[in-house]
Amino acid sequence: MSRRTAHWNPAKQRRLLAESQGFWNDNLWDMHSSPVEGLSPKASQRRLRFGCKSSTINGELKYVFWKKFVEGQWRSTQELTRVHLMVKWLNSLNRLPGSFMEHDLEWWRRSYTSYLKKRGMYRMGTTRRMDGDQQPRVTPRDSAYISTLRQAYLMLSDAYDERPEQEKDIWDLRRLSMLHNPTLSPGPLNFLLIQQSWLRAAAKSFLSYCLPIYAEGTCRTRLKAIVCFSEFLAAEKPRATVRSITRPLLLRYMAYLPGRVCTGTRKNHIINLRTFLELAHRERWLAAGPERLIHDEEVPQPEKRQPRYIPSTVLDQLNQHLHELKPSWMRMVLILQECGMRINELLQLPIDCLSQDARGVFYIRYLQGKVRRENTIPVSQEIARVVQEQQDAVRDQGRVATLLFPNDRGRPARQASFSQAINQLAYVHQIKDATGKLFRFQSHQFRHTVGTRMINLGVPHHIIQRYLGHKGPEMTSRYAHIHDSTMREKLSEYLAGTLVDVTGKKVVENTANDTAELQWFTRNVLAQALTNGYCAIPTVAGPCPHPNACLNCAHFRTDITFLDVHRSELHETERVIAKADANGWMRQSEMNQRKRENLVKIITSLEVAHA
């Protein structure tokens, strides 16, 4: 009996089959009447018949496909044809067992493959993706019919295994009380790769400790370090026990790593193994000691990599073909090019992430993944329109959405899907760098590009740190070393007064976006100030469409700090009007009369507000 079948018994099966109720318990499912919303089956895919000659196998199939539909894993009825064929194959077997669990998956796969080949229906599939050398790679995969069988078997085996997740050898992170990153493929943590049972048990305790505290990627990296150490033990000391973990053994391990992994990975493996051993000693998961077996000077230090920004020539090539991407992918690229957020932050943007302050500046609100805090950054009007277009596109789908970039199931899109889409575009159009080499895009390069651009534009060091959400100055310092000479207090004084528009009307400020700290931040990022006020069109939006016409523009804002400037400008405007009237220059007189009227309104409003 295999590891999986050991957790099945008839009593568990009866409890499992009893879970399917109502529509899902019938032997004929008319998908037009399905409780699942959004299904529009074709005529040939409308009905699903469960005609297996074993009632218990029939019940297990209904349980699996019920879960597939209600949990959103199947959003269409195209799988029904495969289910019908599976039932025909099961009924062709000489002896049909009472449960899928009576044989292991490999037994079922061989039987179904033989059935399909005899009927000329077994066809291997392929998966096409761009590899690390920016070349298309086609890899074979099993038949879609076998894939449906595998999904059914694995779902049943997990349902029958009622042990707590931490007692299993393969953990599904979605079932644990932790913050799973939904933009990554939900691969399991596989402890079977650790060959020594005593080391595997300690590793489970270690990961149980880490998962509530650290990011999912960090936990996976720590497990890889222990797996690597396990492989070393199996090769160099097959009969190793916990007592074998001594400093001489660890010195041998550190000598074993070069040539097998790069310097950066070697550093991570050694640090993570040291952390594991010290925690195992402290928490008594292993009787290993002393506390410190690996010293700081023994940890390799790889060269610090410079930010991998995208050259402007490459960005120009990419932007020429952006329209060929799916609209949502195209909008993602545009947002990344300006905002530089991490890809997982972008993919989890809430649909209501956009806001605007009294000065007309738009902001995007999002959760910064590494520091786990909400951040608000100013964006140009072009990006605001991109976000608004995406909001409209999502809402037009007719279902309640919480995300700005949901996939077909309403969940966050996957990072891998975005990467494949943009690199496929780069391959098709032969996007190359200055050396003529095909350029491979990585989502994080957009982030480095924004950081480098901000440094080149003279944005202060700590403003970039906050904008990009770096935990500390070390990462920001890779872009440059620079001091900020801007005084926040000066902006606070600027914000202390009443804000009015071109007609003298008071502009009501949005307290969420008009705090002194956020406006100070905004001025450092967008820096669109005038000699007599503030323009609501950010610098990144390009040249003003109304040059020298601020006092007739709806985007103009000002406050009490510019009162003397306005009084002087009013005096000069009245002088120009007098000269225009004296010379019969009607057009010039009319234009300056409107300017004078607006100046009078502005000055009056500011004087009244600050009397």
pLDDT along the chain (611 residues), means of 10: 60 91 92 80 80 93 92 80 94 93 94 96 87 84 93 92 89 74 81 95 95 87 96 95 93 93 93 95 85 87 76 91 94 94 93 89 86 84 94 88 88 90 94 91 91 78 82 70 34 46 62 64 57 52 52 70 83 83 76 84 83 62
Neighbouring-strand partners of residue 30: 47
Whether residues 538 and 552 share a domain: the answer is: yes
Rounded distance between C-alpha atoms, residue 321 and residue 323, angstroms: 5
Residue 523 maps to a domain: no
Predicted pLDDT at 503: 64
Rounded distance between C-alpha atoms, residue 294 and residue 269, angstroms: 12
Whether residues 157 and 174 share a domain: the answer is: no
Whether residues 258 and 320 share a domain: the answer is: no
Of 274, 298, 322, the position where a domain reaches its end is 298
Predicted pLDDT at 330: 95
Residue 283 maps to a domain: yes
Whether residues 89 and 189 share a domain: the answer is: no
Strands 136-141 and 125-130: antiparallel
Rounded distance between C-alpha atoms, residue 142 and residue 108, angstroms: 14
Predicted pLDDT at 266: 94
Rounded distance between C-alpha atoms, residue 38 and residue 517, angstroms: 46
Whether residues 370 and 504 share a domain: the answer is: no
Predicted pLDDT at 531: 54
Indicate the number of domains in the chain. 4
Rounded distance between C-alpha atoms, residue 339 and residue 334, angstroms: 9
Whether residues 94 and 218 share a domain: the answer is: no
Task: Please say whether the dihedral angle defined by the alpha carbons of residues 148, 126, 104 and 109, taken in this order, is positive or negative.
Answer: positive
Give, to the nearest 10 degrees, the angle between helix 461-468 and helix 516-526: 110
Predicted pLDDT at 519: 65
Whether residues 132 and 23 share a domain: the answer is: yes
Whether residues 257 and 228 share a domain: the answer is: yes
Residue 481 maps to a domain: no
Rounded distance between C-alpha atoms, residue 566 and residue 294, angstroms: 69
The residue segments making up the domain with residue 278 are 167-298
Residue 303 maps to a domain: no
Whether residues 293 and 347 share a domain: the answer is: no
Residue position matching structure tokens 């990296």: 221
pTM above 0.85, yes or no: no
Whether residues 402 and 375 share a domain: the answer is: yes
Residue 484 maps to a domain: no
Predicted pLDDT at 305: 67
How far from chain centre, in Å, is Cα 361? 25
Of 253, 268, 298, the position where a domain reaches its end is 298
Residue 555 maps to a domain: yes
DSSP SS3 for 548:
coil
Residue of 486, 510, 505, 517 whose CA lies nearest to 558? 505
Total residues belonging to the chain: 611
Cβ 586 vs Cβ 563: under 8 Å: no
Whether residues 431 and 547 share a domain: the answer is: no
- Where does 419-561 show beta strands of DSSP type E? 500-501, 534-535, 556-558
The CATH number of the domain holding residue 380 is 1.10.443.10
The CATH number of the domain holding residue 204 is 1.10.150.130
Residue 101 maps to a domain: yes
Angle at 504 between CA 501 and CA 506, to 5 degrees: 65
Predicted pLDDT at 227: 97
Whether residues 469 and 544 share a domain: the answer is: no
Cβ 361 vs Cβ 377: under 8 Å: no
